[in-house]
Amino acid sequence: MSTALRRVAILDDYQKVAFTLADWAPLQDRVSIDVFTDTISDEDALVARLEPYSIICAMRERTKFRASLLDRLPNLKFIATTGMKNAGIDVAYAKTKGIVVSGTGGSGDSTTEHIWALILSTARYIVTEHAGVRASRQLWQSTIPVGLQGKTLGLVGVGKLGQKTAKIAQVFGMKVIGWSPHLTRERAEAAGVGFVETKAELLQSSDIVSIQMVLSESTVHLIKAEDLALLKPSAIFINTSRGPLVDEDALVEVLQKKKIAAAGLDVFDLEPLPLDHPLRGLDNVTLSPHMGYVSDDNYKVFWAHTVENIVAFLDGSAKRVIV
């Protein structure tokens, strides 16, 4: 493969850390690199930006590489994405175009930590009270935190992430139950989670509901308006998986009407969340900008492997190829 200078685009580096958390020296004099810190969703604008590049570094699913976009990037030969799965890239179609896609490893357990950061901050109204203290609110305390001991945590999805979440819940003295379309009683028992037969039973029984599901055609709007209607008025709803797993309009409505107590959300239908989105104006939500997978340790592995992957591709021996 030619070692002529190639153009590389690093996308969606919101925190401007790509160059600080990895050693890019192995690519010196082999590539020309441009870094972009914003996310573009409009396809025409993406084509205008990315058309010159033969190598693109994608941070998770922030920028989507659908077939229609790949068709309009004739110079693209290699996508280096973070993680070994990226639902935002049509990997199968990329392969037909001769575009190689490589992924990275990760480090630590950032998402489990973030699930509990959201549960705890929502249940204890940390954001509300923090804002009050910072604003010199005369009223010293304005909320009553929800105690977790003896409460029921309902897990929609009891895979590896759900199992880790369950173990922490048990430390707090919570009862944990689980449901998913394919969960069996045997798998639930092996995970130390109470098995419930139906989604409705889980939603009706839970004080806190947390989703740990993979987004696919079959799981889009797994949680619909009629499902949200089953939640207790005191319930807390947590989503750190993917926004489209939940009917977002329906969730906004139940929160606006205070039909549930609160929600802690890390993921949304459209990301970044539009500035005029109604979720931004609600006082019973705790919001974070899809950072469940973000940590210093994860980023160090992501960027180091990205450099290794680009070097390997340029040397004609691509590694960590996603198929």
pTM of the predicted model, to two decimals? 0.93
- Catalytic residue numbers read 242, 271, 290
Query: What residue type is 95 in one-letter code?
Result: K
For residue 119, how far is the Cα from the chain centroid?
16
> Quick check: 27 and 309 in contact, CB under 8 A?
no
| Parallel, antiparallel or unpaired: strands 152-156 and 31-35 | unpaired
Q: How confident is the model at residue 53 (pLDDT cuts 50, 70, 90)?
A: very high
Token pair belonging to 245: 């797993």
Assign domain 110-287 one CATH number from 3.90.1010.10, 3.40.50.720, 3.40.50.300, 1.10.10.10: 3.40.50.720
**What mean pLDDT, rounded, does the chain reach?**
96
Instruction: Give the integer Cα–Cα distance in Å for 70 and 99.
Output: 9
Distance CA 211, CA 179 (A): 10
pLDDT at position 186, please? 96
Asked if the model's pLDDT at residue 4 lies above 80, the reply is: no
Mind listing the pLDDT tens digit for each residue in 59-76?
999 999 999 999 999 999
| Two domains, one topology: 6-107+295-315 and 110-287 | yes
Please, which residues have CB within 8 angstroms of residue 132's CB and are 6 or more apart in sequence? Answer: 139, 142
For residue 108, what pLDDT is reported? 75
Three-state DSSP state, 196 = coil
Q: pLDDT tens-digit profile of 144-197?
A: 999 999 999 999 999 999 999 999 999 999 999 999 999 999 999 999 999 999
pLDDT reading at 45 higher than 60:
yes
Higher pLDDT, 16 or 1: 16
φ, ψ at 253 (rounded to 5°): -65, -45
* Residue-range domain boundaries for the chain: 6-107+295-315, 110-287
pLDDT value at position 48?
98
CATH 3.30.70.3270 for domain 6-107+295-315, yes or no, is no
For the cut 60, the answer to whether the pLDDT of residue 321 exceeds it is: yes
Q: Is 56 helix (H, G, I), strand (E, B) or coil?
A: strand
Interval 311-317 mean pLDDT: 97
Q: pLDDT by residue (tens digit) across 229-279? A: 999 999 999 999 999 999 999 999 999 999 999 999 999 999 999 999 999
Peptide bond into 233 cis (omega under 30): no
Dihedral (C-alpha) 174, 163, 121, 289: value to the nearest 10 degrees?
A: -160
- Whole-angstrom Cα distance, residue 246 to residue 235? 16
